[in-house]
Amino acid sequence: MATVILGGGITGLGAGYFLSKAGESITVIEKRDSIGGMAASFKHKDFTFDVGPHKLYSTIPGIMNVYKELLGDDCVVVKKKNSLRLCGRYFSFPIKPLQFIIRFPKIKAISCSFSYLLTLMNKKTDIINYEDYFLSGFGNAAYKLLFENFCWKVWGDPKKISAELAKRRIPVPNITELVKNMLVKKQKPEFSADTFYYPKKGVGEVCEKLAENILKNGSISYGCQPSKIMVENGKITKIEIKKNIGKELLKNPKNVISTLYLQDVLPLFEPSPPQHILDAAQALKYRSLIIFYIIINKPKVLDDHWIFFPEKDFIFNRVSEQKNFCKDIAPENKTVLTAEISCDAEDYFFSLPQEELASLVMGDLEKAGLISRNDAAESHVIKIEKMYPVYDLSYKKNLQVVLDWLNSISNFYTIGRQGLFAYTNTDHSIDMAQKLAEHIIKNKTRDDWNYTIKYFDSYKIVD
Ligand SMILES: Cc1cc2nc3c(=O)[nH]c(=O)nc-3n(C[C@H](O)[C@H](O)[C@H](O)COP(=O)(O)OP(=O)(O)OC[C@H]3O[C@@H](n4cnc5c(N)ncnc54)[C@H](O)[C@@H]3O)c2cc1C
């Protein structure tokens, strides 16, 4: 029987791709009517929109080659340009020393230096949360300026977010490293991408290519989701699949690879996991994301690929111009700006109607000096309820409880951003998929797999 893959995002398709290359037969089960998950692109009139513009970049050996191999001539190499808006001014990101000296408000720079010196004199040793981490590395003034509001905007209360997130998400741990980093001519590849790859038809093209290969020796079922996963003697023997119309029973899967949210997959098991396991999965929390697209009646707006907005005066965290990644995604005389707004699904923002959101986003884009309201032709919005895994102070313990229980099922593997509650990018998805395929093909032990999962913890996001 085939290996069953739950979820047709880049991780699930990646696993299917590497396994089918090794001759395994694959069945992918996807809930929606299209593949790609968060790394999908979709058509909107004459535009191709990504679910948030994606750069393809990796410091993991071999992954850039996988992208290249899949995309062939459709792979564009882009020289990256980012900025950061701070204290009413724009700075290149990573910040350049000369630009910083000339443009950064002097009073703020002096207050950051003094506050850092004070921190060095009273070094904090027990670093538990996000706030501890940056206060100890940057001092109070720089923490407040650069990191505190950004945390509130994207993840929530910095005192309730684990220092682990800070380490994974922001590669520079203190001011000394920041200054050293500013002074080097060429950034270290693990700090910042110099160039990145981008598919001519949008990021979704990677998933399309993975799927093409899977279909040579397997199938992808759309509009389907598992409704029961039956386990006998520590092994999955049947999966009930709910389709748009009717149900199907998949018997004796060789392996089952899930890329679904852990709280969605656990209740499907029969016999059911004990209540404390289900509770641990439910305790894993997410932040939501609103992705707001504004079509502009101009060929181009920004010089950058994206601009970060860490201050709370702007509702968005980041604004990108996807046409700067590749001009083919938009008509010649128009462009699109994408604004990302994080919040909780219960926040009033999340349920605001599109017109009200449009008014807020356009107001802030005007305030940022990027557009005039009259330039905007129309808007489009998508909302992702469970977007950012929230690394709160108990997430690690809860995650481990869930993974330990799942470990007892010999032919089940959970990987990917949702499957491992991991703050990851597409390169990590491809790497996880490749490592799992290799594990299965080489018939390695469960202990080997647990060791590999620990290695996934070392992934970092590079801007
Ligand atoms: C705004 C934004 C910007 C990003 N920027 C970048 C970037 O610049 N570079 C980069 O490399 N990465 C970026 N990422 C991250 C990247 O998109 C994700 O890490 C990656 O796509 C996760 O893939 P996945 O397959 O693990 O999860 P998902 O993409 O979530 O895939 C899971 C799949 O499972 C399906 N599914 C869910 N529930 C069920 C069910 N019950 N039954 C069947 N199917 C189900 C979903 O429909 C989906 O297709 C970004 C993400 C976003 C949203």
Mean pLDDT by runs of 10 across the 463 residues of the chain is: 95 98 96 97 96 95 97 96 93 80 84 82 84 88 89 94 86 75 68 88 98 95 98 98 94 97 98 98 97 97 96 96 97 97 92 94 96 93 95 96 97 98 96 98 96 93 77
Query: What pLDDT score was predicted for residue 27?
Result: 97
Q: Which helix (H) or strand (E) holds 42?
A: strand 41-44
CB atoms near residue 54 (< 10 Å): 25
Strand-pairing partners, residue 22, are none
Please enumerate in sequence order all residues whose Cβ is within 8 A of that of 131, keeping only pairs 6 or more positions apart, or say none.
Answer: 143, 148, 151, 158, 159
Q: Which amino acid is at 253?
A: P
Q: Kindly list the domain boundaries of the chain, sorted by start residue.
A: 3-39+202-284+393-456, 95-183, 286-389
Ligand 1 close to Cβ of residue 462 (< 6 A):
no
Please enumerate in sequence order all residues whose Cβ is within 8 A of that of 386, keeping only pairs 6 or more positions apart, or say none.
Answer: 261, 286, 288, 345, 418
Ligand 1 close to Cβ of residue 199 (< 6 A):
no
DSSP per-residue letters across 142-209: HIIIIIIHHHHHHTS-TTSBBHHHHHHH----SHHHHHHHHHSSS--TTT--SEEEEETT-THHHHHH
CATH class for the region spanning 286-389: alpha beta
Give just the sign of the alpha carbon dihedral 456, 290, 147, 110: positive
Query: Sheet holding 376-389: strands in order across?
Result: 89-93, 82-86, 306-308, 318-321, 335-343, 286-296, 376-389
Phi, psi of 16 (to 5 degrees): -60, -40
Atom of ligand 1 nearest to the CA of 12: 25
Which has the closest alpha carbon to 380: 289, 291, 288?
Answer: 291
| CA 178 / ligand 1 centre spacing (Å) | 31
| CA 86 / ligand 1 centre spacing (Å) | 30
Query: What pLDDT score was predicted for residue 186?
Result: 66
Query: What pLDDT score was predicted for residue 185?
Result: 64
Atom of ligand 1 nearest to the CA of 265: 41
Q: Which helix (H) or strand (E) holds 218?
A: strand 218-221
Tokens of 108: 């703020």
Query: What pLDDT score was predicted for residue 138?
Result: 86
CB atoms near residue 32 (< 10 Å): 15
Query: What pLDDT score was predicted for residue 191?
Result: 66
Alpha-carbon span 22 to 299, nearest angstrom: 46
DSSP, res 43: E
As a dihedral over the C-alpha atoms of residue 345, residue 351, residue 355, residue 359, rounded to 10 degrees, the angle is -50
Q: Does domain 3-39+202-284+393-456 have CATH number 3.50.50.60?
A: yes
Atom of ligand 1 nearest to the CA of 11: 25
Q: How far is CA 324 from CA 321, 330, 348, 373, in A?
A: 6, 10, 32, 21
Query: What pLDDT score was predicted for residue 244?
Result: 87
Ligand 1 close to Cβ of residue 429 (< 6 A):
yes
Atom of ligand 1 nearest to the CA of 427: 11
Ligand 1 close to Cβ of residue 11 (< 6 A):
yes
Query: What pLDDT score was predicted for residue 98?
Result: 77
